[in-house]
Amino acid sequence: MALEPSVREAMLSAVPSLRAFAISLSGNVDRADDLVQETLLRAMANIDSFQPGTNMSAWLFTILRNLFRSEYRKRRREVEDSDGSYADTLTSHPEQHGRIEFEEFRKALSQLPPDQREALILVGASGFSYEEAAGICECAVGTIKSRVNRARTRLSELLAINSADEFGPDQSTRAVLSASGRR
Amino acid sequence: MKEQKPLSIGPREGQGPVDSTQDNGARRGIGQRPQVSGSAEQVPLRPKPMMQNEIQTRKRRGRLGRDVQTKLGKTLQAYFDDVVKEGVPDRFKELLQQYDERKDKGSS
């Protein structure tokens, strides 16, 4: 049976932020889009287990996160990460997403432990509540809160922000936002 | 390094009965981190009211200032939205389309 139009709409409208989540996790557009594709395929194949009326976006994020984590674990086994440089390989790909203005930020983000990174993105950018993020990550709300706090602290250290003036989305980001689309 | 007196206080207070004067002297006498050993011994003896810069340091280590949090939040959001505003790439629209068509064919 074809997808219900409303289900299909809900899926499509979740795609942009799903992609942003995938790119934030993997640091790589191609891998991220593969993750999104795989997520949508799984979602459609298991659409019966989706409860209508619940949050489609959270459901898709949960699937994508699980896919990413199993891939991450698999790759880590394959690539011997003796010097801890695995994170670099994730982000040194030439087809990274985003513009040069975000380079520093993306680099710092990639240096966060995966747990902290996903918690920060879910709560700080994707618009999920702590409770929803806890549901997606299958952990306690308190765990999410502490991960988010540690992520923020670490990120500010990595970016060497000690005061608001030293690092500014106001300069770089506004320039980015006012620039025309990349594609 | 500068003061010799505190060296005798250290072992008596913290380290117990071991005669560590020599050991201690050898360890600290090199002067690896003289400031640290000095202040570490002063604090428990005479807790002083916190100086302004100590408060600031502590704040920086523990909780982030609100302005920093705001900056971080905005940057993260901008980084994220930069992707979001690209919308839905065609490949995903087609993916759902193909799925529907395949399912329709299969069921009819």
Lowest mean pLDDT among A34-48, A57-71, B57-71: B57-71
Interchain contact, B86 vs A12, CB within 8 Å? no
Domain assignment present for B60: no
Fold of A98-183: Arc Repressor Mutant, subunit A (1.10.10)
Assembly ipTM = 0.74
Residues of the domain holding B35:
1-48
> A36, A110, A5: which is closest to B87 by C-alpha?
A36
- Summarised one tens digit per residue, pLDDT across range A81-112 is 544 555 555 544 444 555 666 888 888 998 99
Interchain contact, A152 vs B72, CB within 8 Å? yes
**Same domain assignment for residues B3 and B43:** yes
Domain assignment present for B53: no
B66-84 vs A5-26: helix crossing angle, rounded to 10: 120
d(CA A102, CA B37): 42
**Same domain assignment for residues B37 and B77:** no
Q: Residues of B with CB below 8 A from A11's CB?
A: 96
Apex A174 CA angle, A172 and A176, nearest 5: 70
Please give the pLDDT value at position B20.
43
Please give the pLDDT value at position A52.
83
Percent share of chain B, pLDDT over 70: 38
Lowest mean pLDDT among A34-38, A65-69, B49-53, B63-67: B49-53
Interchain contact, A23 vs B83, CB within 8 Å? yes
B66-84 vs A103-110: helix crossing angle, rounded to 10: 100
**Same domain assignment for residues B38 and B73:** no
The C-alpha of A57 sits at a distance from chain B's nearest C-alpha, in angstroms, of 14
Domain assignment present for B70: yes
Residue of B nearest to A37 (CA): B92
- Does the pLDDT at position B62 exceed 80? no
**Same domain assignment for residues B41 and B81:** no
**Same domain assignment for residues B69 and B42:** no
Locate the domains of chain A by residue range: 7-97, 98-183
- Summarised one tens digit per residue, pLDDT across range A114-163 is 999 999 999 999 999 999 999 999 999 999 999 999 999 999 888 876 44
The C-alpha of A112 sits at a distance from chain B's nearest C-alpha, in angstroms, of 13
| Sign, Cα dihedral of B42, B48, B50, B52 | negative
The residue count of chain A comes to 183
SS3 content of chain A, % helix, strand, coil (to 5): 70, 0, 30
- Summarised one tens digit per residue, pLDDT across range B89-106 is 999 999 998 887 887 776
Q: Choose between B88 and B68: higher pLDDT.
A: B88
Please give the pLDDT value at position B89.
95
- Summarised one tens digit per residue, pLDDT across range B5-50 is 444 443 444 444 444 444 444 444 444 444 444 444 444 455 455 5
State the CATH architecture for A7-97.
Orthogonal Bundle (1.10)
Size of interface A-B (CB pairs under 8 A): 121
Q: Residues of A with CB below 8 A from B66's CB?
A: none
